[in-house]
Structure 1
Amino acid sequence: MKFLTLSRDLFFSQYFEKDFYFEKKAIGLNELTWDDVDEMLFGWSPNDGSIHLFKDGKIDPISYTEDFYDVGMLRKRIIKDSFNNLMLNGATLVLNRIDTKSTKINKLTKAISHFVKEKAVANGYIAFGGNGTFAKHWDTHDVFAIQLIGRKQWKLFAPTFNLPLQNQTSKERKHECPETPVFDEILEAGDILYIPRGWWHEALPIEQEETFHIAVGVHTAHITDYLTWCSGNCFVNDLNFRKSITTQPIEKFTETNVLDVLNNIQNINRFKAAQGEQDKVISPFILSHISKKIKKTKDEKNGILFLNTSYSTSIFENNLLINGVKINIDKKSKIIFDLIEDNLLTKDELVKIVCKDNTNEDKLREFINVLIFNDVICEI
């Protein structure tokens, strides 16, 4: 799978939370078409609150949806002529959590998550001209913008409030945005633009041109999250921290009291492990795999393998916990997990690396299929 020429180490040392990164033709597209998008939208219910239209602000859904009874059940549908006219006249369609609706987009989102070893989700943006969805703003999470169809103009402006947290939005600070952009380019299909949180930006459709891009949001834990975790899991076990401020004023605490807890590597690892234990990912269904298993026919699929976790497996000391499944691993199986975690490999590529002399190839393929069946890894 073609995906970024930038190494993970270089990304984190020079760009992550520091600077934007732009790469043309960074991904190989699997011929995502408007027919694919139409098929995805056909099964998308407007009831779930994740599909919106924008034009000079958010459009009231009442103007393009209606309630109706379908075999005795009250449902909501999109009124196609109203929807089509809005799209034709400059509206932007916003599809939140599009990574849960399309395996092709889920694959790209997983590739980003695999690259940064953090939780990632995707929203989609579709337009045929118009003025865009949002005015200049910053996001409170890092974003990888991936152009899938057509073109779109992107402008980035230097940050005026570095690394904002979730509640620190740009809504009341629009006046702070610099006038001169530091980046002004047109993204074409296959291009990727990394935008650190806090960087002002705007994305503008090109008049009378189609555009479909996804914004893959990377959701990381912050130092403030670690402090909160320490308060509930470490400080509560120390009598000094359980005393009231009335009996022990806060100024009596020494810097060492707090730093000893925060800098304790065991506490840091416990915090990361707690993240991993709670992590769940949405993966594709495998009915075709089950069908072949029942018919005892060979599985010819050869997709990219991903671990069904947002984080590095190094956070677990002994046994792994992936997508709610506990796994006991030995040295041989650890090699397989490490190869999947560190690379974007197809099933055949993994087998070729591990089984250099073609011995035990069938056993390895069966092991991979068992992991897929139990939702530990996925093949896309």
Structure 2
Amino acid sequence: MSPTRERTLLPTDEPLSLLDKDGSPVAGSPLVMPDDDVLLELHRRMVVGRRFDTQATALTRQGRLAVYPSSRGQEACEVGSVLALRPADWLFPTYRDTVALVTRGVDPAEALTLLQGDWHSGYDPCAHRVGPQCTPLATNTLHAVGFAHAARLKGEDTSVLVLLGDGATSEGDTHEALNFAGVWRAPVVFLVQNNGYAISVPMSKQNAAPSLAHKGIGYGVPSVLVDGNDVAAVYAVVREALESGGPTLIEARTYRIEAHTNADDATRYRTPDEVAAWLDRDPVDRIEAYLTSRGLLDAARRSAVAAEAEEFAARVRAELNADRPRDPAALFEHVYATPTAQLREQAAALAEELA
């Protein structure tokens, strides 16, 4: 990253980028291109992440998941931001960020537990430094700021990345979180994945400011506008923000290719031509074109990555298709640290009925 690039409250008029939609380097970019090994890892993780995403979508259609919010088209945001994290940093994701979870090292079956409707979170947050996936919009922003502030009070060298969508910026929690982050100078990075729609509500009906990044100005939080389909640029701005030691608001312009969830009909609020225009800006194709032009990605390496992605998908299928034994008594676990009298009574009644 460029340590000399000035951090300002005002974002740029146009999104920062390192690669254009054809994979050519952008002349005069203020960002520093990540090292070649980082770029190759970003590509590998995006290919695996996309295959995981399409597999999860298929499993939803087969009834193995209750719901699945696809992040196809947003892989640069998910992977670029997570790989910018240090081991000691924390991630606070939303329901759409399952690819971010598996990129952070969460077991894919555990990452999908919430979307199966089983338990509250299928993984150990402390083991992975990943907060539980947040379904209510924007509540994770306050969790992230509180966590980052507490870490600083304890003298820990920890920064926090919180992921949110454009719809979450219309929620009061986000504004409270930005205000607290600005006042406390909390080491938290807000990454808004602006995919164009809050379910079916377009940006034109959500925001009157020049960009969502401009929302940081009123809270004294430096803001950045970045091309969310350029994984190199996303990695660069997130790493730069994490290293600043203070709060940053980043708007990443991207697009949700699939419907909001498997229960949504996206054709009711957007046209096929609009989707096709964004398919032409595909984040995986972009980094592949650049790496290929540099001679860093040949046919053998591309095949190896594709094979790894297929193996990963097969593992997900096997784990989610397995019928696991269910213990009805588990319904009463982890509800309270000390079970209430009513909960104990209910558990005893169930045990008696099963017996």
- Give the TM-score category using the shorter length: under 0.3
Q: Which has the higher strand share?
A: 1
TM-score (norm 2): 0.23
Q: Which has the higher helix share?
A: 2
Larger radius of gyration: 1
Higher RCO (C-alpha under 8 Å, 6+ residues apart): 2
